[in-house]
Structure 1
Amino acid sequence: MDEKDEKIVDGILKRDVNSFNKLIDRYGSIIHNVVRAVLNESHETTSVEECIDDILMCLWRNMDCFSKEKGNLKCWIIVISKNKALTYKKKLKKFRNNIDIDDLKVNSLVDIEDNYLKKENKKSILELLNNLSIKDKEIFVKRYIKDCSIEQIAIDMGLTSISVYNRLSRGRKKLKQILKGREL
């Protein structure tokens, strides 16, 4: 960990607001970019600022959970940001699924058809992924559905980046074989 990060962490642990402002100056754009990447659908973008505020509160309250010896502050902040944003996404999805159909403003029959096709495609993809091991399926979902970086997947799952690349490569080969078998 570099000296600036160490001073920021020490300051926040002492509840120094200036140190927290330095954290925001240094990592605020990263937090914002992570949250925007996760909350990328139109109905989710209104929650970006609220999610960022929650992340900042979490960092302020939980800085004592960060291990200077073991961790990299930037990576820790990215993981927290991604997890909070995914939690927001789940809440928004649950809320959206509970909305009465009469409350929705559907522009046309085409919108309904597009949504149905997207759900069917997603269901087909998830059925195909069920042919992989649980760990490989999780890696595929994180990489290709949630659009996580290889490095982030490695951190989240306690693997090396090379291991993640290898699992993705083997999984793609396996899925290609399965798809070829379905075409016949």
Structure 2
Amino acid sequence: MDDSDIIELFNKRDEKAIIEAERKYRSYCRAISNNILQDRESVEECLNDTWLNAWNSIPPHVPDNLRMYLAKITRNLSFNRYKSAMAIKRGGGKISAVLDELEECMAGPSDVESDLIMKELGESINQFVHTLSERDCSLFVRRYFYVESVQEISAKYGITESNVVVSLSRTRKKLKKHLEKEVYLV
């Protein structure tokens, strides 16, 4: 079923929308959540919450790209579940590594005063990502949106892990300069 047809089912409040969205995007959303949580039960709970959140948000929101809309919901739910779990049991892991890598480019939570600033920051990062070469953009998105490991990225692109690390480091430095220019960092 076409995405526009699925969105139309959501708009009509037809429960078949959930069935069709899940059928089409379950594997994709599961991969995103699993990269973050790496726990089958938690992933399944996030997927169920994804379909419910989509149901509750469409309408009034009508996404331009259903696949990315569901990916964002899944990613945000997975990160929230991860943060919750880490508040209970402090520990390391892949998410901590990803967040540590990006920390050098981002302002701390106490520096961001409102949701509006966060939205503008997100738009600025999105603009930055679109200035990257196709390869650098793919590496950056795979690492920091899909939370893939350096090893996974290396295998997908047929390049060394060292090459991935260096490329990501250079991109983070460019992002930092971009954010400083945009006055998100001082």
TM-score of the pair, normalised by structure 1:
0.54
SS at the partner of 1:56?
helix
Which of the numbers 77, 81, 93 marks the counterpart of 2:70? 77
Structure 2 CA distance for partners of 1:129 and 1:161, relative to 1, 3 Å: closer
Question: What percentage of residue pairs aligned between the two structures are identical?
Answer: 18
Residue in 1 that maps onto 2:131 = 163
Q: State the distance in 2 between where 1:49 and 1:82 align.
A: 13
Which segments of 5 or more consecutive residues in structure 1 lack a partner in the other structure?
A: 98-114, 138-153, 174-184
Task: Map 1:91-130 to 2 at 5 A.
Answer: 91-97=84-90, 126=100
TM-score (norm. length: structure 2): 0.54
RMSD between aligned alpha carbons? 3.9
The C-alpha deviation readout for 1:126-153, integer Å capped at 9, x for no partner, is: 5x976x4436x9xxxxxxxxxxxxxxxx
Where relative contact order (Cα < 8 A, 6+ residues apart) is larger, the structure is 2
**Paired residue total:** 128
Whether the 8 Å CA contact 1:38–1:85 is kept in 2: the answer is: yes
2:41 is the alignment partner of 1:46: yes
Match of 2:106 in 1: 134
Q: Which has the larger radius of gyration?
A: 1
- Preserved CA contact (<8 Å) 2:7 2:62: no
**Deviation readout 1:2-29 (Å, 9 max, x if unpaired):** x811111111121212232111111111
The answer on whether the counterparts of 1:66 and 1:76 sit within 8 Å (CA) in structure 2 is no
Matched, 1:64 2:59: yes
Measured in 2, the distance between the counterparts of 1:52 and 1:95 equals 22
Question: Deviation at 1:155?
Answer: 7.2
